[in-house]
Amino acid sequence: MSLNGKTAVITGSNSGIGLGVARELARAGADVVLNSFTDRDEDHALAAEIGKEFGVTARYIKADMSKGDECRQLIADAGKCDILVNNAGIQHVAPIDQFPVEKWDAIIAINMNSAFHTTAAALPLMRAAGWGRIVNIASAHGLTASPFKAAYIAAKHGVVGMSKTVALETAQEPITCNAICPGYVLTPLVEAQIPDTMKEYNMSREDVVKNVMLTRQPSKEFATVEQLGGTTVFLCSDAAAQITGTTISVDGGWTAL
């Protein structure tokens, strides 16, 4: 399929899943806007590389997704936003009675409130263009819970709920809004933890992956950033035009348990 002529804005896309999604959207022909809160040469170089590799226009725009006005400014600076992927996210793990208030506020702001601001800013552009796709990267933790992740789980459940509401508000327009719920995904951050965990448990890589990291993922395999990018591209396709207000799990069976 071709997304030629479409512009995609992907929040939090200078690493991990966001970068993988940006690359797959570019591979499908979309112009892409990468984002994070830093403004380093390497951020802009990343966009330039994607542009060159896939023959699309690729830009990097700095905006801090913990700040509502910067979320809205990102969409304004992009100028066009046919595809919005709300991906920026952080995590903090602590029991709720010891959960630092500033961590709670940051997680709710970046993982949930940013999607409110970018969606509110992008919808008028999608309506003017007569087409739009909103893809929210939630989590298996948008559908289930684990202890010590109260802020993350509250935010991800919130994103799933907001996706349904946006879908209802746009149901009679050529705009869809869905949430992808990944299980554990092999990102550079996760990959980097494997050698230390192997040492800590005196285990092989395979044992660490299957028996320590993927205890809740029945497939015993990580999802990949390419698979999440492919799922996003599918949600942007004509085949997915009637898929709205729902979640797609990419979790190796986690939420089937």
Answer for which of 10, 17, 85, 233 binds ligand NAD (CB under 6 A) is 17
Assess 137 for contact with ligand NAD (CB under 6 A): yes
Q: Between 31 and 64, whose beta carbon lies closer to ligand NAD?
A: 64
Task: Quote the CA–CA distance of 130 and 65 in Å, as a whole number.
Answer: 26
CB 213 → ligand NAD: shortest distance, Å? 9
Site for ligand NAD in 19-58 (CB under 6 A): 36-37
Element (H, E) at 192: helix 188-201
Assess 179 for contact with ligand NAD (CB under 6 A): no
Answer for which of 3, 7, 9, 16 binds ligand NAD (CB under 6 A) is 16
DSSP-derived secondary structure letter, 217: -
Query: Tokens 């035009």 map to which residue?
Result: 241
Site for ligand NAD in 138-157 (CB under 6 A): 139
Assess 119 for contact with ligand NAD (CB under 6 A): no
Quickly list DSSP for 131-185: -EEEEEE--GGGTS--TT-HHHHHHHHHHHHHHHHHHHHTTTTTEEEEEEEE-SE
The answer to whether residue 60 is catalytic is: no
Query: Tokens 């630092």 map to which residue?
Result: 100
Assess 236 for contact with ligand NAD (CB under 6 A): no
Site for ligand NAD in 193-212 (CB under 6 A): none
Pair 247, 181: CB distance under 8 Å: yes
Q: What is the dihedral of CA 115, 121, 123, 129, to 10 degrees?
A: -130
List, by residue number, the catalytic residues.
152
List residues near ligand NAD by CB under 6 A.
12-18, 36-37, 64-66, 87-90, 110-111, 137, 139, 182, 184-185, 187, 189-190
